[in-house]
């Protein structure tokens, strides 16, 4: 049987590394363990993308750069977004006989075997970088949610749509017109919602926007301007972009938000992590264990996670005990010192059906965690000790970590809880 070439030989033959580079990486691997490719990246000899290209060549697999528009939602919908993120594996094309799947490593066999058994299809593999797969998962499932909802809902007036997008503090919204048909759309915590419009939506827009589109575009097919959007006595500054041609036009509105105190105190989470948390939240029950370096950082940032991750319309509660500092701007509940009463206290809070619960309680964890995470559809639990295996027993499947780095910034990571 022909022996598979090593990744080191493939990278040398392609001119990407030298023999000396390979020797350096092998020495690093002997001292620190891990895979050879990881050693190459750690030594600064290659980028992750170059190592992934070498792996694809080693296993004779295509290395792809897929776009969301090219992914068949019929294929992606075979798995949940949580499964896709946890395994960094996404089906992208389906035929009667085969299913094409992208993943970040040819060494992953469990998700491939699971898909094969579930679909009874021949699995065709392709490799992509972990960052590109995560980005693709976010884009595909947001697009898929919009496709599921479609544009068949009840037609509404533009003013009703504006009330909705301002209520949920949508980061962007717009109007798409094609001929006599028009739709409003908005970003609802990572999901694109759409509604067909009725009536004279352009006249409505002229009334609530200053300057309005007629004056601002002045007959041009492309324009950008700042405007004041007035609804129900509230004025919001928005940045407007406009495109038009013979077929129709597009309006994009992005509210300019005043900086809030929590965002001055803590670095905003990376957009990718925010999108993934929101994607997981849409699955119904998303559970996150939160850790931090230093530990005290976790106590400070935990109460503000709902504000950092979701729009203000999400109802949240911060549950704590002991001498935790009260957060005057956060809705909270301090549990009594009598731990025997915690179970009944948490059961009473569960009846309120909160969207988000954040939990900072001391002790063993297993005695209160299962009840605490059920207080909200989404739960963030600051784990009081190092045994994350107990967190998984409580139904928590994701690990959100914050670390204060040398220059004072916060670095965030989100990964499946593997123990």
**Kind of pairing between the strands at 376-382 and 234-244:** unpaired
- pLDDT at position 236 is 87
- The two counts, helices (H) then strands (E), for the chain are 18, 17
3-class SS of residue 175: strand
As a CATH number, domain 150-255 is 3.30.450.90
The domain 261-416 belongs to what CATH superfamily? P-loop containing nucleotide triphosphate hydrolases (3.40.50.300)
From residue 217, how far is each of 199, 241, 246 by CA, in Å? 22, 10, 15
Per-residue pLDDT reduced to its tens digit, 153-205: 567 899 988 988 887 778 889 999 998 899 999 887 667 788 899 889 999 99
Q: Looking at domain 68-148, which of 1.10.287.310, 3.40.50.12780, 3.90.1150.10, 3.30.300.160 is its CATH number?
A: 3.30.300.160
Whether residue 294 is predicted with pLDDT greater than 60 in this model: the reply is: yes
Q: Is the dihedral of CA 114, 118, 121, 126 positive or negative?
A: negative
**Residue 283 gets which letter from DSSP?**
T
* 98-103 sheet: strands from edge to edge: 89-94, 98-103, 122-127
**Kind of pairing between the strands at 209-210 and 191-196:** unpaired
Predicted structure pTM score: 0.67
Q: How far apart are CA 176 and CA 146, in angstroms?
A: 14
Domain limits of the chain? 7-58, 68-148, 150-255, 261-416
More confident residue, 115 or 391: 115
Is residue 91 reached through a cis peptide bond, with omega within 30 degrees of 0 on the bond before it? no
| CB of 372 closer than 8 Å to CB of 349 | no
Per-residue pLDDT reduced to its tens digit, 57-107: 666 677 777 788 888 888 998 998 899 999 999 999 999 999 999 988 887
| CB of 252 closer than 8 Å to CB of 115 | no
3-class SS of residue 54: helix
Q: How far apart are CA 311 and CA 168, in angstroms?
A: 6
| CB of 238 closer than 8 Å to CB of 255 | yes
């Amino acid at each position: 049987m022909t022996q598979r070439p090593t990744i080191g030989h493939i990278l040398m033959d392609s001119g990407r590394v030298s023999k000396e580079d390979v020797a350096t990486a092998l020495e690093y691997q002997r001292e620190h363990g891990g895979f050879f490719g990881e050693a190459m990246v750690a030594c600064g000899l290659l980028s992750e993308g170059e190592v992934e290209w070498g792996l694809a060549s080693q296993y004779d697999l295509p290395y792809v750069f897929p776009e969301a528009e090219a992914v068949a939602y019929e294929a992606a919908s075979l798995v949940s977004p949580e499964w896709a993120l946890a395994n960094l594996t996404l089906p992208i094309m389906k035929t009667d006989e085969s299913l094409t799947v992208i993943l970040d490593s040819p060494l992953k066999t469990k998700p491939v075997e699971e898909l094969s058994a579930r679909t009874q299809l021949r699995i065709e593999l392709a490799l992509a970088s972990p960052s590109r797969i995560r980005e693709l998962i976010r884009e595909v499932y947001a697009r898929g949610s919009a496709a599921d909802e479609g544009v068949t809902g009840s037609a509404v007036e533009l003013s009703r749509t504006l009330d909705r997008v301002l209520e949920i503090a949508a980061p962007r919204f717009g109007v798409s017109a094609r001929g006599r048909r028009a739709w409003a759309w908005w970003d609802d915590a990572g999901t694109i919602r759409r509604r067909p419009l009725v009536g004279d939506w352009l006249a409505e827009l002229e009334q609530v926007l200053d300057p309005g589109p007629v004056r601002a575009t002045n007959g041009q097919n492309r324009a950008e301007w700042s405007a004041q959007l007035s609804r129900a006595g509230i004025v919001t500054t928005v940045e407007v972009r406009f495109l038009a041609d013979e077929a129709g036009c597009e309006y994009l509105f992005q509210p300019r938000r005043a900086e809030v105190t929590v965002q001055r105190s803590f670095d905003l989470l990376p957009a990718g992590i925010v999108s993934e948390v929101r994607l997981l939240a849409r699955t119904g029950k998303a559970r996150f264990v939160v850790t931090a370096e230093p530990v005290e950082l976790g106590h400070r940032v935990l109460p503000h996670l709902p504000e950092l991750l979701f729009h203000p319309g999400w109802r949240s509660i911060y549950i704590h005990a002991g001498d935790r500092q009260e957060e005057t701007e956060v809705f909270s509940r301090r549990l009594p010192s009598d731990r025997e009463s915690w179970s009944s206290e948490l059961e009473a809070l569960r009846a309120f059906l909160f969207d988000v619960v954040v939990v900072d309680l001391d002790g063993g964890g297993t005695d209160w965690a299962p009840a605490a995470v059920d207080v909200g559809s989404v739960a963030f639990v600051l784990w009081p000790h190092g045994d994350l295996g107990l967190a998984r027993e409580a139904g928590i499947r994701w690990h959100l970590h914050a670390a204060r780095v040398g220059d004072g910034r916060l670095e965030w990571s989100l990964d499946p809880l593997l123990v």
